[in-house]
Each structure stands twice: as C-alpha cells, then as structure tokens.
Structure 1
Amino acid sequence: MTENLKQETVLVTAASGKTGRRVAERLAARGVNVRAGSRKGEMRAGSRKGEMRFDWEDGSGWARALDGADAAYVAYYPDLAAPGAPEVMRAFGRVAAESGVRRLVLLSGRGEPEAVVAEGALRESGVDLTVVRSSFFAQNFSEGAMYEGVLAGEIPFPAGETAEPFIDADDLADVVVKILTEEGHAGLVHEVTGPRPVTFGEVAAEIGRATGREVRYVPVSGAQYAEMLQRFGFPEPESQWLADLFTMLLDGHNASVTNGVRQLLGREPKTFAAFARDAAQAGAWSA
C-alpha cells in the first residue's frame, strides 16, 4: 500500500455486517481513515471520518456519508439480486460521482443474473469500479440466518444434495482490503470461493464435529422454506423471493471453485472444516 493510498478516506457501507465490520477493522489496522456507515450510526454534520449513519432505504444521507471520501466499499442489503437494487445502485453511483469518490468496490453474488444488472447500474456512474462476486459465506451458520438452526440442531434449507464452495468472511474481507489499498483493479471482476464445494449435509457434520453436538441438515423445498420464513414473520413477497433466490443459486451452477482468493492473496482460502473448528473454539455456538 502506498503512502498516498494510506491517507485516503474509505466509506464502508453496512459496517456492522459480516463483511463490512471485518473490512473496516482491517482498513483501520492499516492506518486508513475509515468512515463506518451503518443504519445505527450517528449523522454528524461536517464529519469526515468515524461512524456515520448510512441506510440503503434512505438516500437522503448518502451525500453526507460520501462527502470527502476517496473510495467506498459497497455492500448492499438485502442482496444485489433483490427487486429494485439496480435503481438503488444507479442512484448511489450518481451521488458517489457527484461527491468526488474515485473508486468503488462492490460486493456481489456469484451466479446471480439479477445482481449483474445491478452491477451494471452502478458502473454507469463512471467511477472506477471493482466487483467481487462471492459464494455463500461460511459465517451464515455462525452469524447469519442459519445460526438459530445450528443451535436447535437442525438446519432446514432448500439445497438438497447440491454442494457450495462456502467462503470464509475473513478471506473475503482480506480480498476487499487488498483491492481497496492497491492500484490496478479498476474495471475488474473478481470471483471468489472457498477451496472445496461441500453439501449442507457435510456442513452440518462438520459443525457437529467441531461443537460436539448433534446437528443435521433438513432438506426442504422452496415452497416449504418460504412458508417457514413466513412463520418467522417475514412478509410473503420477501419470503417467496428469498426461497426462489436460494433455490436458483443451489441448482448446481455454482458448485465449482475459483482461484480468486489464491490469485489475490497468494494463499489458499480457509476450508469449511477449519472455519467450523475456529468458530467453535471462539464460542460462536456456545449459547
């Protein structure tokens, strides 16, 4: 990292999320001026670093969050494939360009045609853009939607026997930080995965071995998963969209690995077994 890049201010959106938190921590450890944007952040007039309020559903605060930032890590919630995401990306890109932001690093989903449309909408801004298309995060089982299932001993999901090369969020964060602190990535698309595809049944077995408790995978249909989400309080349209998205992503077209992590970081990505072991030792499932 050059001294010039070290003096940059980087806005990290969704800075309290799985990847945003890790990216912000790593950038700060490198001496980069980090502006952590989150829905819970405070909106301070004239603030150029530190915690800022940033809400994807409320564009009125974007200009203030981007003011004075040289670069931004863009992690859109709920997903770039969500309805309306292209319009949000187009609007955000316009504000970023007007604010003088020079570089954007966008987190995208691997094998999501709708996400590619949203990528293109952000690219229209003219700001140098690097896209990181990622496989499912291993941390979905320790910090995300499937955490409660692990604690309950059953992980219901519409995956069947399809394998997924889960990536550790720490590896993803290392990739993003490298791109943000180096020149030469503008216009590129990096596709990153873990080192080996594993089925959800294998995932449950690995977590069971790491925790010493019984954990099993329960295959369900997309319709059953949507019904389950509605029982947990999700609105019907969102439940159906999520079920359709996961069913599409786990139809087998993503059941392969890439060498993106190795190319960018010069090392192999963490295996799911290593993730499960480290997470268990850190007390991720101690509840």
Structure 2
Amino acid sequence: MLETAQTLVLGGTGKSGRRLVQRLRAVNRPVRVGSTTGTPRFDWTDPATWAATLDGISAVFVVYSPDVAMPGAPEVIGAFAEQAVAVGARRLVLLSGQRAEVGVDSERRLQDSGAEWTILRAAWFDQNFDEGFLRDDVRAGRVALPVGAVGEAFVDADDIADVAATVLTEPRHSGAIYELTGPRLLTFADAVAEIGAASGRDIRFVEVSTDAYAATLTAHGRSAAEVDQSLYLFTKLMDGRNARVEHGVQKILGREPRDFRDYAGAAAATGVWTAH
C-alpha cells in the first residue's frame, strides 16, 4: 500500500491546485499531488490510474481537465467520485465553473456519489493572463478572442486556494455551493487595458470571429479537439450568463476578494509580460 496521504489535490501542479498544496502543507496536512506527471500518475482519460492515486485518501479536491462544462465531463466525474467514495474518500470538493447546464450536471454526479461534498463555482482566473493560455498573447501586445463586451468577474487563484483550503478542513461547509468571483465586472478589453496600464505597455484587445480564432489555434499546432474545446467555452459560456459579482469569497474568508488591478500590478512587477 502507498503511504497514507489524507488529501488528494487533483490538478495539483496547476494554477489553483499548486497554491492549495502549498497552503495545506503549511499547516502540516499530508497531501498527495494528482497529475499526469505525479507519482503515482493520475490521468482523467485513464481510469486505470485512479485506484493507486486514491489509495489512503480521505478527502479530494477535484479539478477536471479540460473543464467541467465540456461534453462527457459529467460521466467521468461521476465515475471517479463513486470510486473515491468506495475506497474511503468521504470528502469531495469540486472546482466548478459559474452556472452552466453541463457544469451543473457534473456537480450533480459528484453530489450523488454519497460523499460529503462542497461545490466551488469559480469565475475565469486572473492567472489565465500570466500563467495560462493568454500569457504569450499579452507579451506580444495583442489579445485576440471571439468574445465581445461581456462582463466577467475575474477571480484570483490565490483566493480560490484560500477558499479550498478552508472548506477542505472545516466540516461546516459540507453540502454547500459557493460562487467565487472577483469584486467587479470587467470585459476582456477592460482586463487587457488594466494589464497594459500596470505593465506600461500598449496591449490591444481585438474581438475576432470564431473562424478566425479557430484558424489561429490550428496554425499554432492545436489539435482539432483542443480547438473545439476553446470554441465551446467562448461561444457557449461567454454569452452574458455569468456577468455578475458573487460573494462566496467573503462568506468563507471574511474578507474581500483580490481586485484584478492588484493582480495585474503584482504580475507586471515580476516581468512576466515583458515583450521578448
């Protein structure tokens, strides 16, 4: 049997997972990192890897890749949750997205597993601009996306990690759903303008057609499946349904969430957006 690790953090090398691992270890809570590069290896597309990763686990932070709102996600998340509960993992915390039909189906599959569950519905991460898929575009000075003037309450990954660490270690959050957003709505053009101001650079946001965006992704070597996933997220979810500010961070942490402007200033200070 593998050494006992109380909490499994899936996506433990990603934006929110990496930060959560740091917080749990800081309070001496045993942690196992679940990732395709971890030991044991965890892969959502290979259920044969799940058992070893779950061995000795009592709680799981569930991050599904590529996204809980993708077609097929509910079935995979449901199968994993049932297996986790069957081997003794009683506490499951799912990182979901703001309300969308397919995302809600994924949540229900986890809720029906028999676990003590908590759902964290997060807005788009601030860190997509400096740690994620938009970083190189920001460096190049042009962010082109198939999205218009739709408001998004971008949320900071550090706030998500603080929230996740709290709900994983406090039983009073069992059976709760929390909506996690930043403190104000911004369009993608607004966000890019904030980054430009923070970094002292001229960075433009350009709205492009879905066809043009797909062509760009393909030219950069993205697979057809990856292109379809990106288009799904922008065309199906960025339609205004999530243009609202919620207060989950305040409810759990008793403080305001980090503002995008503060995030942009701190990220710019690291030089991450310096043109190469």
Does TM, normalized by the shorter one, top 0.5? Answer: yes
Deviations 1:106-151 (A, max 9, x none): 0001022111111111222111111100100000000111111001
User: In the alignment, what sits opposite 2:56?
Assistant: 68
Instruction: Tell me if structure 1 keeps the 8 A contact 2:5–2:56.
Output: no
Conserved? CA contact 2:7–2:32, under 8 Å: yes
Distance 2:52 2:5 in 1: 17
Q: 1 CA distance for matches of 2:246 and 2:123?
A: 10
Is the 2:5–2:32 Cα contact (8 Å) retained in structure 1?
no
Q: Please, which of 185, 189, 196 is the counterpart of residue 184 of structure 2?
A: 196
1:41 is the counterpart of 2:41: no
- RMSD value over aligned CA atoms? 1.5
Q: 2:234 aligns to what? A: 246
Q: CA deviation at 1:8?
A: 7.3
Percent identical residues: 46
Q: Match for 1:26 among 14, 23, 28?
A: 23
Unpaired runs of at least 5, structure 1: 1-6, 44-52
> Structure 1 stretches (4+) deviating beyond 6 angstroms?
none
**Which stretch of structure 1 is more off in the superposition, 220-229 or 102-111?**
220-229
**Distance (whole Å) between structure 2 residues aligned to residue 14 and residue 126 of structure 1:** 23
TM alignment of 1:1-287, pairs within 5 A: 9-43=6-40, 53-286=41-274
Deviation of the 1:282 alpha carbon: 2.6
The 2-side partners of 1:160 and 1:198 are apart by 11
Per the alignment, residue 47 of structure 1 pairs with none
Distance in 2 (CA, whole Å) between partners of 1:11 and 1:169 is: 18
Unaligned runs of 5+ in 2: none
Distance 2:39 2:56 in 1: 17
2:190 partner letter: E
Measured against aligned partners, the alpha-carbon deviations of 1:73-104 in whole angstroms (never above 9, x if no partner) come to 00000001112111211210121011101100
**8 Å contact kept, 1:223–1:243:** no
| SS of residue matched to 1:126 | coil
How many angstroms apart in 1 are the aligned matches of 2:176 and 2:99? 16
TM-score normalised to structure 2 length: 0.94
